[in-house]
Structure 1
Amino acid sequence: MFSFHRNGYKLIKLGMVIMNDTKKNSAHSKLLHSIQIRQKDDLLKLCFKRKHSTATNIDPENELNFDDITKGDKEVEHKLKVILLETEVMRQEGKSVPEKTFFTAEHWKELLNLSSRSARRKYLEYLFRLSKTKENRKIKRFEKKLKREEFINSKEVEKNESLEEFALKYDLAHNNMFLRFYDSTINQMYNNRLFQAMMFGQKLVVDCGYDKNMTKRENINCAKQLMLLFGENRIHEDPFDLHFCNTDPGGELIKYLHKHIPNMYELSFPLNLHESSYLDLFPKDQLVYLTPHCRQEMTEFDFDAIYIIGAIVDKINIEPLSLAKAKKEGLKMAKLPLDRYLQWGAGSGKSLTLNQVTSILNDIKLKRDWDFALRHVPKRKVVDYGTGSSINKTGSQKFGTCRPERRWKPSSNVDLNQQIFTKNKQ
């Protein structure tokens, strides 16, 4: 009994020591977390060169210009004051609401257009994430600036070194056999590809006449996809000659696209912007409108055709607008053979982004292989992509070429002659 009590006392004492160590470790982790937060706040103060003020010290009516937002409408002004009070209450409750200095007139106008409180809450959460992303970018940029200054100061000390000391050191700042490539040089190389495509490449039309059929968020998403479309086409081995037709300089889509590509209106920029229709620029018999709502599948790539992609993001409005427009203008239509070559997963949509469609067209133009071109379809949308099962079911019916079906083969290390197969006796 004595040994049992003594061992039990030791166990209790050991447990108390472990609890104290865990408390010390948790206190130490909390201390480190608080130090990291203080360092981040100090960097923010250095970046913005101002002190952080609390939300209660700012009067929203003194910060906003109501006339620019409400245009003198008393009802809109009253609704704006209610939304200001609502955002202040959400901020005091600890919800994800950005600082008042982050808001612009466009943000308040968007909040006025939202009818429900839940929609405004989701939009405020989106703005909160956006504000934190911008803060983190500024912090990283400021940290890089400090490191660059430290590096320059350290190099100033080494300026008095002799030629022999300089030659003996092998790094990027001293003796080096590699030539440095700057970002401007890479951009010039990619732009040169587009200039060559303007002279000798195949043309691709992007119809930008759907901005009035999309909401603000859809226009923002579409502008981002157009930016990615231009970037992925530029870095391709054989890019298209892009023509953005039916553009409205005062429309929402082109305004948001101009934010992503600030120099797109420059004469030296390799992008064709047309306010006129593609019917006024190209022969009608060469135009082929790519729409997912038609029945005709694009079995082979036509190098003489001028394909048209509709710049539309239809998350809310799912009407076949591109099909109706192509029928109205009497154009030939086609769709990508996605159902023929892919087996879609349950619950996944069949829609693709504009940059994914352009990448597929670039690859099918270069390789003439649908298996290779459809690699740009997100793998989360398809089932067993790459196994060849869906291709053997449909692709072999009309196309003579398809990949062989994968089957299990034993390893070369396994000797089948020495394997013993027995049946279970009942």
Structure 2
Amino acid sequence: MIARSRQLLKIISTTDHIRKLQSNNVQVFSGKYNVEFSFCRQFSHSDEGGRDESEVDIKAITNGDPELEHKLKVILLEAEVMRQEGKSVPDNTYISESHWKELLSLPSRSARRRMYEYLFKLSKKKENRIAKKLEKKQQFEEFKQQRTNEVKDVPIEEFAHTYDLKHNNMFLRIYESTINNLYNSKLIQAITYGQKVVVDCGYDDNMTKRENLNCAKQLMYMFAQNRVHKEPFDLHFCNVNRESVLIQQLYKYIPTMYEKWFPLNIHECSYLDLYSKDQLVYLTPHCREEMHEFDPDAIYIIGAIVDKINNEPLSLAKAKREGLKMAKLPLDKYLQWGGGSGKSLTLNQMVSILLDINLTGDWNHALQHVPRRKIVDYSIAQNIRKTSDKLKYDRPRTKWIPSSNVSFNNLSYQRKSITKTIEGEEKDRINIKQFLKDSG
């Protein structure tokens, strides 16, 4: 309670400073933690007039908790103060109820500031997307009007001989829904005849909310890239918790994922309840065993985890605990890693590599899905190898120094399986001059 009061006093002092600069009407009452404010939006990032406190559904966000209500009012005031200071804070219209709840759970002002910056970028992306959509719509309307005027002025004979869209054309238009049905039909065939691949969705508790959102986006990309491939996999999402942040965000990306006709297998149970342990192979980068070729009889498991903060080998520990076989991609064998963002790959990149190695059996072709920024260029890698080989030959040779245990009185050498011993006595030594005189 004392820390909360200090935080409120700090915000109030900042508000008084802004009031002196901008002559805004600010009223703050500390009695019973009531906070009222009304700011001018002169220096706000948003062009539209933002919501004030009354337009944010405080009761729905806090569920009637008085402490949370007070904290939310302080956060609302804090956000408005940061807007007036020129910070990257979005308008309240772009902050949803779930975002307010996440802001309430953040422990510090710096963490909330980073959250505001993230939401501000999202709001600007949304504004740009809406502006581009309206611009394209306007351009299309102008194009339609122009083509209509051209058709009115063209004689029927010339119109019939013009081979173009909206003129004489032998091909029917292929709509996006038709292409979508084609891709879904390929997945339905994969369910019957294709290779099964399991995605373990049981790591949502080990990830932060930001990591869960990123993981959901990667799962969406994985599904999209799998269904457009020549030979798609039969994907099975196991250990699914429908109330988790990961699956709820994935549901926003794929709203039809729970429909019976949708070609995606979602299981709340474990993969151990569906398949035998002898078939399962857990793909984890932390194990020692490398995957040399794609085994069509195996069922590979990919862990749905984004470990930007927690780098612990969770998939390795889980595979050992469940007694499963493990393997990793032979990345070090075929790639020369550079100074990129490490050796970690996204989930959609993993599936793309498996799809191509299953289709072609060529690792050099399959590993083209690894981002170029992570690996060294081929010519640079060749120069590195040549330089390292040259350094091996250019090393200075050290002079041999005999050990004190070596006896020079009894040395031997072996030549063509014949061993000769040179004795140390003077009488047995070879006289070179006498030998040359006798032989001459």
TM range (shorter): 0.7 to 0.9
Aligned-partner residue type, residue 241 of structure 1: D
Please tell me the root mean square deviation across aligned C-alpha atoms, in Å.
2.4
Q: 2:244 aligns with which of 251, 254, 265?
A: 251
Aligned-partner residue type, residue 230 of structure 1: F
Q: Which residue of 2 aligns with 1:10?
A: none
For structure 1, the 5+ residue unaligned runs are 1-50, 394-426
**1:61-72 matched pairs, under 5 angstroms:** 62-72=54-64
Aligned-partner residue type, residue 78 of structure 1: H
For structure 2, the 5+ residue unaligned runs are 1-45, 387-440
The answer to whether structure 1 residue 148 and structure 2 residue 140 are counterparts is: yes
CA–CA separation in structure 2 for the residues paired with 1:228 and 1:190 = 14
DSSP-derived class of the 1:307 partner: strand
CA–CA separation in structure 2 for the residues paired with 1:141 and 1:169 = 31
DSSP-derived class of the 2:321 partner: helix
Contact 2:336 2:381 in 1 (8 A): no
DSSP-derived class of the 1:299 partner: coil
DSSP-derived class of the 2:92 partner: coil
Task: Give the C-alpha shift of residue 167 in structure 1.
Answer: 0.6
Q: 2:72 aligns with which of 80, 87, 93?
A: 80
CA–CA separation in structure 1 for the residues paired with 2:240 and 2:383 = 40
Give me the identity figure in percent.
Answer: 67
DSSP-derived class of the 1:228 partner: helix
Q: Which residue of 2 aligns with 1:36?
A: none
Q: Which residue of 2 aligns with 1:293?
A: 286
CA–CA separation in structure 2 for the residues paired with 1:389 and 1:299 = 24
1:228-278 Cα distance to aligned partner (Å, 9 max, x none): 111111111111111111111111111000111111112221111111111
DSSP-derived class of the 1:284 partner: coil
Q: Which residue of 2 aligns with 1:279?
A: 272
Q: Which residue of 2 aligns with 1:315?
A: 308
DSSP-derived class of the 2:332 partner: helix
Aligned-partner residue type, residue 57 of structure 2: N
Aligned-partner residue type, residue 376 of structure 2: V
Q: Which residue of 2 aligns with 1:8?
A: none
Contact 1:342 1:391 in 2 (8 A): no
Task: Give the C-alpha shift of residue 104 in structure 1.
Answer: 1.2
Task: Give the C-alpha shift of residue 73 in structure 1.
Answer: 2.4
CA–CA separation in structure 2 for the residues paired with 1:369 and 1:390 = 25
Aligned-partner residue type, residue 140 of structure 1: K
Q: 1:233 aligns with which of 226, 235, 245?
A: 226
What number of residue pairs does the alignment pair up?
340
1:68-127 Cα distance to aligned partner (Å, 9 max, x none): 222222222222122111110111112211112111111111111222222212211111
Q: Summarize the Cα distance change of 1:236–1:333 in structure 2 as closer, same or farther, 3 Å threshold.
A: same
Contact 1:361 1:373 in 2 (8 A): yes
Q: 1:97 aligns with which of 79, 89, 94?
A: 89
Q: Summarize the Cα distance change of 1:321–1:287 in structure 2 as closer, same or farther, 3 Å threshold.
A: same
Contact 2:222 2:351 in 1 (8 A): yes
CA–CA separation in structure 2 for the residues paired with 1:95 and 1:374 = 43
CA–CA separation in structure 1 for the residues paired with 2:379 and 2:122 = 37
Contact 1:206 1:244 in 2 (8 A): yes
Q: Which residue of 2 aligns with 1:48?
A: none
1:50-72 Cα distance to aligned partner (Å, 9 max, x none): x96544xx422x11122222222
Q: Summarize the Cα distance change of 1:390–1:108 in structure 2 as closer, same or farther, 3 Å threshold.
A: farther
Q: 1:269 aligns with which of 254, 262, 279?
A: 262
The answer to whether structure 1 residue 113 and structure 2 residue 138 are counterparts is: no
DSSP-derived class of the 2:199 partner: strand
CA–CA separation in structure 2 for the residues paired with 1:366 and 1:74 = 60
CA–CA separation in structure 1 for the residues paired with 2:131 and 2:282 = 46
Aligned-partner residue type, residue 304 of structure 1: D
Contact 2:239 2:271 in 1 (8 A): yes
Larger Rg: 2
Q: Summarize the Cα distance change of 1:389–1:214 in structure 2 as closer, same or farther, 3 Å threshold.
A: same
Aligned-partner residue type, residue 144 of structure 1: K
Q: Summarize the Cα distance change of 1:130–1:270 in structure 2 as closer, same or farther, 3 Å threshold.
A: same
Aligned-partner residue type, residue 299 of structure 1: H
DSSP-derived class of the 1:224 partner: helix
TM-score with structure 2 setting the length? 0.72
DSSP-derived class of the 2:94 partner: coil
CA–CA separation in structure 1 for the residues paired with 2:271 and 2:73 = 47
CA–CA separation in structure 2 for the residues paired with 1:388 and 1:243 = 39
CA–CA separation in structure 2 for the residues paired with 1:339 and 1:255 = 36
Q: 2:357 aligns with which of 361, 364, 368?
A: 364
Contact 1:204 1:242 in 2 (8 A): yes
Aligned-partner residue type, residue 237 of structure 2: F
The structure where helix makes up a greater share of residues is: 1
1:357-414 Cα distance to aligned partner (Å, 9 max, x none): 1111111111111111111111211223477759999xxxxxxxxxxxxxxxxxxxxx
Contact 1:245 1:276 in 2 (8 A): yes
DSSP-derived class of the 1:101 partner: helix
Contact 1:379 1:385 in 2 (8 A): no
1:142-188 Cα distance to aligned partner (Å, 9 max, x none): 22223333344445554696642421333211023444322122212
Greater CA deviation, 299-308 or 109-118? Answer: 109-118
Q: 1:338 aligns with which of 331, 345, 365?
A: 331
DSSP-derived class of the 2:229 partner: coil
Aligned-partner residue type, residue 98 of structure 1: P
Task: Give the C-alpha shift of residue 302 in structure 1.
Answer: 0.6
Contact 1:247 1:276 in 2 (8 A): yes
CA–CA separation in structure 2 for the residues paired with 1:368 and 1:251 = 37
Task: Give the C-alpha shift of residue 356 in structure 1.
Answer: 0.6
Contact 1:169 1:175 in 2 (8 A): yes
Q: Summarize the Cα distance change of 1:332–1:95 in structure 2 as closer, same or farther, 3 Å threshold.
A: same
CA–CA separation in structure 2 for the residues paired with 1:361 and 1:317 = 25
